[in-house]
Amino acid sequence: MMSRTLPTGIHLLLTYKCLMECDHCFLCCGPRAEGTFTLDKIKAVLDELVKIGTIEWVYFEGGEPFLFYPLMLEGIKLAREMGFKTGIVTNAYWATTEEDAKLWLTPLCELGISDLSISDDTYHSGDEEEPPAKIALATAEKLGLPVGSICIEKPEIKTEANENKGKPVVGGGPLLKGRAVEKLTDGLPRRKYDEFTECTEEELRNPGRIHIDPYGNIHVCQGLVIGNMFKTPLSDLIVNYNAESHPICGPLLQGGPALLARKYGVKHNKSYVSACHLCYEIRLALLDKFPEYLAPRQVYGLD
Q: What is the pLDDT of residues 84-131, one digit of tens each?
A: 999 999 999 999 999 999 999 999 999 999 999 999 866 655 566 789
The C-alpha atoms of residue 141 and residue 92 are separated, in whole angstroms, by: 14
Query: Residue 285 in 3-state DSSP?
Result: helix
User: What b-and-e string marks burial along 171-192, b requiring 16 or more CB atoms within 10 Å of the CB?
Assistant: eebbbbbbbbbeebbeebebbe
Task: Classify residue 153 by its DSSP letter.
Answer: P
119: nearest Cα among 86, 87, 151: 151
Q: Has residue 145 been placed in a domain?
A: no
On whether residue 142 sits in a domain, the answer given is: no
- pLDDT number for residue 163: 54
Q: Is residue 122 part of a domain?
A: no
Nearest to 284 by CA among 299, 271, 269: 299
Mean pLDDT of the chain: 92
Position 81 confidence tier, pLDDT thresholds 50, 70, 90: very high
Q: From 244, 302, 300, select the one nearest 27 (Cα to Cα).
A: 300
In the predicted structure, residue 254 carries a pLDDT above the cut 90: yes
Number of domains in the chain: 1
Instruction: Kindly tell me the burial class for residue 127, based on how many C-beta atoms sit within 10 Å of its own C-beta (0-12, 13-18, 19 or more).
Output: exposed
Between 12 and 186, whose confidence is greater? 12
pLDDT value of position 156: 62
Q: Is residue 44 pLDDT above 70, yes or no? A: yes
Task: Flag whether 86 is in a domain.
Answer: yes
Mean pLDDT of the 68-79 span: 98
The pLDDT value recorded for residue 176 is: 87
Domain that holds residue 283: 9-90+153-298
Residue 3, in any domain of the structure: no
| This prediction's pTM | 0.90
Contacts of 162 (CB under 8 A, 6+ apart): none
Q: How many residues does the chain have?
A: 303
Assigned domain for 123 exists: no
**Phi-psi region at 241: left, alpha or beta (left = phi > 0; alpha = psi -120 to 50):** beta
Beta bridge partners of 12: 60, 212
Is residue 212 a contact partner of residue 45, using CB atoms and an 8 Å limit? yes
Which residues face 149 on adjacent strands?
118
Q: How many CA atoms does the CB half-sphere of 150 hold within 13 Å?
A: 14
Residue 217's pLDDT band, with cuts at 50, 70 and 90, is: very high
HSE at residue 112, side-chain half, CA atoms within 13 A, is: 8
Does any domain span residue 185? yes
- pLDDT number for residue 237: 97
